[in-house]
Every structure is written in structure tokens, then in C-alpha cells.
Amino acid sequence: MRANFRGARCFTFEAGENKSGHISSGPNQGILFFDNIFPLRLQWLLSLPLNTSKTIPEIMNKFNSPNIAAADPLSIIKRAVPPEIPITVVEVLPRIKEGGAYVKFSKPEDVDLTEAVEKLRIHLREHPIKPWFNPFRRVRASLVQGRPWIEDLNRTPTKRLKVEFLPATTGGEAAELSPEALYSLFRPFGKLADIVPQPPDSKVLPKFAYLNFVLARQATMAKNCMHGFKILEANGGGKSGTQLRLLYEQTVHAHWIRDWIFSHPRVVIPAIAALVAAITVAVFDPIRTFFVKAHISHTWDLTNNSVIRWFKDQATDILVFRKNKTSDVGLDAIWDDRRDAIEQIRRWLMETTDTFIVIQGPRGSGKRELLLDQALKHRKNTLVIDCKPIQEARGDSSTIDAAAREVGYRPVFSFMNSISGLIDLAAQGTIGTKTGFSETLDTQLAKILANTATALKQIALEDRKKNEKDANMGMDEYLEAHPERRPVVVIDNFLHKSQENDVVYDKLAEWAASLTTSNIAHVVFLTNDVSFSKSLSKALPDRVFRQISLGDCKPEVAKRYVINQLDSDADLEEGEEKLTPSQRRSDLVELDGSIEVLGGRLTDLEFLARRIKAGETPSNAVHEIVEQSASEVLKMYIFGTESGQRKWTQEQAWLLIKQLAEKDSLRYNEVLLSDTYKSGGEDALRALEQAELITIISANGRPYSIKPGKPVYQAAFKTLIGDRVLNSRLDLGILTELIKIETASIDKYEGELNRLGALPKQPSQLSSRISWLLDKIAGCQDRIMKYETDSVVLKKVLKTEF
């Protein structure tokens, strides 16, 4: 008898016959399952809005040829079932989700089913059919022994099956099969990797076991052939028999990546931190270097554009920019007087020595204008870093923002510093160690400055040409040989409020040292602080600083500056044949005396010139300036600042004001010997110098003299001393403080006398000590009586005058 395909039908469904979930078979009928007919990884197509059960076989049928397996299930069965097998194919039922197909067949009553299936297997081994999508595996067939469950649920075939043991009859009791019995049943379908029985202490019902196949197709074959298989009592199925229910078990959890990450924080968090750092360096650092270079070379500055300059030159013929002209003409006298300092700075910038240039002078002495407007007037590639906004920023994030703005470093994600700090704190509480996400202010500043150094080096080398004579030199040798091509870094307001936080200044000094020693750039410091050498010596301990000290202008230079300021507008408007305002004004004879009082501080001279321009006489203008300075001294150093926020007392500041009103300068050590400065005297003097009430003059590193912080302050001090009520009030405070000091000394001496008097016998050797203590007590008492007498006079003034 030959295999008969006449009348065979090919149905495609995923939910069983009539969507019942099962396939029915009549007498003398059987069901075979063929695998490897469809690609197993087409499950995602089943979720598309199309009839995949019909479309996929039709598409794959176009690949049918005599040499490769057809995709049409009926064609595959015709090739797979040999003619000598006496069966008749009734239906072919594809299972696209599981990559196979059911074949329902009928047979004569006298044909042994087991023998027919065995012949089919032998034929498929001897004449393998290998589909084009899986050429390394052949089509296999096996008899369906159970009652397969045909479903179209969203369940993906896997290599792992869950075998549940159910009772064969209602109310019966199922038997749990041993691993040996399961192996015998399922090994014919493919190699088993492992059999995992249910734990003995598990209370989960129904009882189950896991079968791990090597391949997913072996698991699909086993499920489709053995689902619903009944095991009789003779085969170990229990009294009422046991029925098998097979389900695909997902071997990979849906959230295994998330679970693994949360389960291994010690590995994951540092790895993420390293990855973020690597991405930041690879992506953002080149962008930041580009913006820093643009900031240094003023690429986006429209004033350097040739077109803008041309329009500006054309407009100059029509419009007169009087303000700028006035400022330039007025400063000519100052620059003529400081021409030697300007030329000295230019010479230093042409030398190859790797050292700092420091320009020190009091506030308002014109340090910044001298350097930027004169010494570096025509020099390209100048970077100015102002320490004042960086130091005055509150919080690490604001400090990082301010530092980034000064060098053009962007983008900067300063807000991430707070977020990463919280992450690091949480991780430390979880895993016990820091992750490295958060970075200190020191580290963040180091990154900004390192990126800036890279940009400076690129700028220094960007004009290097291949055909010049030094083309064969290395980068470091080239920079050393060509100091004129190095950019200039100007660090302004260095050591501004350094007593609050010196992290920024230490970092800047170290960075500047690396720039100079590597010949990347010239570094110029502008500072008001006379003790700058302490900070800079930490960075370059073996170098001598190139220093220029700017003081106040000479009287003749100051006078010429004021006159130039007065005449600048007239020169532009009236011409040379007419008298200038300074020649027309008769009150300028007072100018010499006014400048003698005011001094040569540039900001004060500018203020004086503006007041004279407004119509005031020089003497009146200076009087107003002195009155304003006196109010400033009272507000800043006597009454304005709370005692907890300053490092000097009211009495210490007033004592200096009184003494400097009478003398041009004081001896440094003589001030420290006064009773008012016995406690914390040097710290108070340094704080008053930082606050610019006084200036401490040093020689060979030793302070020896104290002068007013500004020349006009001496006149302001005399004005304050002339106020009897103010003088009496503050002198009374000094006397009260002195009385407290003398009283404390008497208490100390009396305490020692009490201890000596408590001795059982007075040795003769103590007589001199006792006499000395008594003399000290007497001296202290005499001074207290004198202070009390003076206090009575001062109190009388306070009671009688306003």
C-alpha cells in the first residue's frame, strides 16, 4: 500500500479546530508532528495586524524548488512521507509559532502504527530534508502520544519545559515521576541538559518538574507530542494514573538586567561612573577646548571683525566718541610716568625664563589698565581670570560656574555636582564605599584648568609652519625657543579675600606654575596683597618672582592728570587757538594744595577731576572727598561691621586712626607693644591691612612701618579726631578696655600673692618676688586711677555736647 495524499487538506490555525484548543482524531487515525518547517523566530510576526497563518506559508512557498525544502506544509509532507508507508494524509495543520506542523492521517486496521512511524523516521534520516532557513538541521517527525493543547497565547517557545503531574481521573491522586522515568519518556525527542525535580519541602500544587533541553526545537517537539499523555499504574502513574501537562518555562526573567544591576552595586556603580567619565572626556572635552580657545583668541568678539572695524572708522568721522577720548587723554600723563614699568613688562614677556610676573599695588593704583591697556595693548591671545567673582561665589556649584565663565569653559553641568553628591552618599550607605560620582571643588577646578591649559598650548602652536627653520623641533623645545608666541594669562585680584578660602588661590598658583615651567604661557598676577610671596612660593619655591610695585602718582604727575582730564573735552570741541578750561579757571591755584591732601591714588584723582568739571573749586572738592572718606572709615572699620565678623576690635582700629592722624607712619613693633594690641595684635594688623585701612611696609621680609591705606585717609583721620564727641566716645572705649586689662593683671598678681601667703613659712628668697608683685599692683592701680580721671573728662564732653 502506498501513501495517499488524494483529498488531503491544509488548514492554518493557531487555536485548534473550531478554536477549541484541541485536535480531534477518529478511529484508525493518528497525528504526527513535523518540526523545522517554519523559522522558529517568527513569533513577533504573530502580533502584527495581518493574517500571518495564511501569509507566512504563502510567502515561504515562493522559495520552493526541487533542491531545497518547500515552505508549503503539504509539499513538505509529500516529500517526507515515502510511498511505501500505508497511510493516508487527511489534514496538514501548521503551527507557525512553534515552527512545525501537525499531520492528521488515517491507516488500515491491519497496519501497525508503531511500525509505520518507525519507517517514517528511518526514511527521514536516510533522505534528510533541510530547509533553506536552517540548512544544518533536518525535518523530524514524531507520533503525538498525548492530547496536544493548541493555543494562540503570547507564549514563546523555550528550551525549558515545566511538566506538571495531574490526576488522570477526577478526584484521583497524581504520582510524581522520578527523574529516571522522565528521562525515559522525553529523551527520544532530544538531548536533555538537566532535569530539575520539585524541591521536597515545596507545598506548591500540582507537583512539577523542569526539563531543560539543549535546543528549543527539541522542547517544542516534546511538548506537542507529550502534552496530555496519560501514564498508567503499571508504568508508575499511581492507582488512578497520572496525566502530564507541559508548559514553556521562561529561563530568562523579564527584568534580569535590572535585577542584576541592583544585585551587584559594587560592580555596577563604579562601572557606570567610569563610563560616564569616559563619555564626558570623549564627547565634551573637545567641545570645551574649542570654546576656551574661542574665548582666549576672542573669536566671537565683533570688535575684532574687519567689517565692523571699517564701519566704526567711517562712523568716527561723523560721531565723536568723547568719553573714550577723555579717558585716553587723561591717562597719558600716568602712562608717561610709568613708561619704564610698561617697557619692563614687555621685555619680560619676550624672555624664556619660566617665572611669574607679579604687579602689586593698592586698589585704585591702575594695575589692570597698566597691563591690559598699555603693556598688552597689541598682543593677541590674552586670557584674563578675575578671582573676585570666583572667590565671592557662594557654594561649590556657584564657584564652578564662576570659574568656568572666566575661561570660557562650556558646557558646564555644575548642578550635577549636588546630584552626584547625593548619589555618592546613598551609595556609601548601601555598599560602604564611595562610587566616585561626586567630585570635590578641588577636582572640578583641576578639570577646568587642565582643559584651559590644553587650549593654551594649542593656541601657542597653531601658527607653527612646516617650512620654518624650527619645524623639526619638538613642541616643548619650540615653545621655549619662541616666547613671543605664548599666550598671556592675567590673574587679576589674586588673594582677594584669601582669609575666607584659599583653595582657589592654591589651585591657580599650582596651575600657573605648570604653565610657566612647561613654557605654555606667560603668567602675570595682579594683586593688592603685599604678602603674595607666601602663596606663590608654595607653587614655585625655587624661583624668584619678577615684581613691579605700583604706588601713588607723584604730585606733579597727579596735577597733570587732573588738568588733562579737564582739558580733554575742550581740545576736541574748540581747537588749539582758544583757551582751555584749565587756563580760563582762576581757582586752579588751589590744585597743588588739594593734591597734597588727596595724594596720588588714581581713583581719587579721577573723582577730583569729575567734581572740578562739575563746577566745584579744588579745595571744596577735596573737602567733600575727605568728608566722604571719613564716613567710609567709620562705617567700615568702627561701627559698620559686627564684632563677630571682624578680626580686630573697635579700640584697635581707633588707636591706629588717632596715631596716624598725628604721624605719617608708625613703627610696626611699637604698635604691637601697646596694651590694646597685646592680644592678637599681629592678626588684627593683618586683617586691617586686608580691609585697606592701613598699609604695612616691609623690608627684607620684615614688617617695619604702618601707613594709611590711602593717602586721603590721613586727612580723613584728622577730620575724625577733630570731632570731640566722637573722639570722646571712642577714647572712652579705649580707656574702658585698658581698665579691664589692668584689673585682670591685678587679679593675677593678687592670686599669686594669695598662694605665696598660704605657705606655712615664708622663705627669705621670696621677698624680692613679693616686692615685685606689690610694685606691679601699685603700678596697675596708679594707671587705673589715671584712666578713671581721664574717663570723667570724656564723659563730661559726652554729657554736654552733641
Task: Tell me, yes or no, whether 106 and 33 share the same domain.
Answer: yes
* Number of domains within the chain: 6
Give kind and range of the element (H or E) at residue 625. helix 618-633
Q: What is the mean pLDDT of residues 607-626?
A: 90
Task: Tell me, yes or no, whether 300 and 439 share the same domain.
Answer: yes
Cα dist from 138 to 63, 91, 172, whole Å: 17, 22, 42
Task: Give the pLDDT of residue 240.
Answer: 84
Task: Note down the domain range covering 681.
Answer: 617-711
Task: Give the pLDDT of residue 575.
Answer: 46
- The answer to whether residue 573 scores a pLDDT higher than 50 is no
Look at 147-161, 229-243, 403-417, 418-432 and tell me which has the smallest mean pLDDT. Answer: 418-432
Cell numbers at 222, concatenated: 516534546
**How many helices and strands in the chain, by DSSP H and E?**
30, 18
Instruction: For residue range 101-114, list pLDDT tens digits in order.
Output: 888 888 888 888 88
Task: Give the pLDDT of residue 65.
Answer: 42
pTM (two decimals): 0.64
Cell numbers at 276, concatenated: 560616564
Q: Identify the band that residue 795 occupies on the pLDDT scale cut at 50, 70 and 90.
A: very high
Task: Tell me, yes or no, whether 746 and 699 share the same domain.
Answer: no
Residue 282 resides in a domain: no
Higher pLDDT, 734 or 468: 734
Residue 285 resides in a domain: no
Task: Give the pLDDT of residue 335.
Answer: 84
Nearest Cα residue to 695 out of 552, 802, 791 = 552
Task: Give the pLDDT of residue 311.
Answer: 66
* Percent of the chain at pLDDT exceeding 90: 34
Which region holds residue 17: left if phi is over 0, alpha if psi is between -120 and 50, else beta?
beta
- The answer to whether residue 550 scores a pLDDT higher than 80 is yes
Dihedral sign for Cα 737, 738, 740, 741, please: positive
Cα separation of 740 and 746, whole Å?
Answer: 10
Task: Tell me, yes or no, whether 673 and 751 share the same domain.
Answer: no
Cα 650 to chain center, whole Å? 43
Q: Which of 41-45, 454-458, 756-760 has the highest mean pLDDT?
A: 454-458
- The answer to whether residue 94 scores a pLDDT higher than 80 is yes
What is the DSSP code (8-state) at residue 4?
B
- The answer to whether residue 44 scores a pLDDT higher than 70 is no
Q: What is the mean pLDDT of residues 25-52?
A: 73
Q: What is the mean pLDDT of residues 489-504?
A: 84
Task: Tell me, yes or no, whether 698 and 735 share the same domain.
Answer: no
Look at 87-91, 572-576, 711-715 and tell me which has the smallest mean pLDDT. Answer: 572-576
Asked if residues 653 and 733 have their Cβ atoms less than 8 Å apart, the reply is no
CATH number of domain containing 164: 3.30.70.330
Residue 592 resides in a domain: yes
Residue 270 resides in a domain: no
Q: What is the mean pLDDT of residues 47-61?
A: 50
Task: Tell me, yes or no, whether 568 and 510 share the same domain.
Answer: no
Residue 38: burial class (beta carbons within 10 Å; 0-12, 13-18, 19+): buried
Averaged confidence pLDDT in the chain: 82
Q: What is the mean pLDDT of residues 263-278?
A: 74
Task: Tell me, yes or no, whether 567 and 692 share the same domain.
Answer: no
Q: What is the mean pLDDT of residues 297-304?
A: 69
Higher pLDDT, 633 or 366: 633
Task: Give the pLDDT of residue 308.
Answer: 64
**Domain-ending residue, one of 564, 588, 611:** 611
- The answer to whether residue 259 scores a pLDDT higher than 90 is no
Task: Tell me, yes or no, whether 544 and 562 share the same domain.
Answer: no
Q: Identify the band that residue 639 occupies on the pLDDT scale cut at 50, 70 and 90.
A: confident
Residue 37 resides in a domain: yes
Q: Identify the band that residue 11 occupies on the pLDDT scale cut at 50, 70 and 90.
A: low
Task: Tell me, yes or no, whether 452 and 543 share the same domain.
Answer: yes
What is the DSSP code (8-state) at residue 778?
H
| DSSP secondary structure string for all residues of 63-91 | T--SSS--SSHHHHHHHHS-TTS--EEEE
Instruction: For residue range 336-393, list pLDDT tens digits in order.
Output: 888 889 999 999 988 877 778 999 888 888 889 899 988 998 888 899 999 999 998 8
Residue 267 resides in a domain: no
Task: Tell me, yes or no, whether 99 and 170 share the same domain.
Answer: no
* Percent of the chain at pLDDT exceeding 70: 83
Asked if residues 100 and 148 have their Cβ atoms less than 8 Å apart, the reply is no
Q: Identify the band that residue 181 occupies on the pLDDT scale cut at 50, 70 and 90.
A: very high
Residue 152 resides in a domain: no
Task: Give the pLDDT of residue 64.
Answer: 40
Task: Tell me, yes or no, whether 400 and 411 share the same domain.
Answer: yes
Q: What is the mean pLDDT of residues 692-699?
A: 87
CATH number of domain containing 622: 1.10.10.580
Instruction: For residue range 498-548, list pLDDT tens digits in order.
Output: 777 778 898 999 999 999 989 899 999 999 887 788 888 888 887 778 889
- The answer to whether residue 652 scores a pLDDT higher than 70 is yes
Buried b (16+ CB within 10 A) or exposed e, 246-268: bebbeeeeeeeeeeeeeeeeeee
Cell numbers at 456, concatenated: 593654551
**Domain-ending residue, one of 711, 736, 760:** 711
- The answer to whether residue 692 scores a pLDDT higher than 80 is yes
- The answer to whether residue 632 scores a pLDDT higher than 50 is yes
Higher pLDDT, 147 or 439: 147
Cα separation of 459 and 475, whole Å?
Answer: 12
- The answer to whether residue 606 scores a pLDDT higher than 50 is yes
- The answer to whether residue 568 scores a pLDDT higher than 80 is no
> Quick check: bond before 411 cis, omega within 30?
yes
Q: On the CB side of 206, how many CA atoms lie within 13 Å of its CA?
A: 20
**Domain-ending residue, one of 649, 679, 711:** 711
CB atoms within 10 A of CB 163: 26
Task: Tell me, yes or no, whether 593 and 664 share the same domain.
Answer: no
Residue 783 resides in a domain: yes
- The answer to whether residue 660 scores a pLDDT higher than 80 is yes
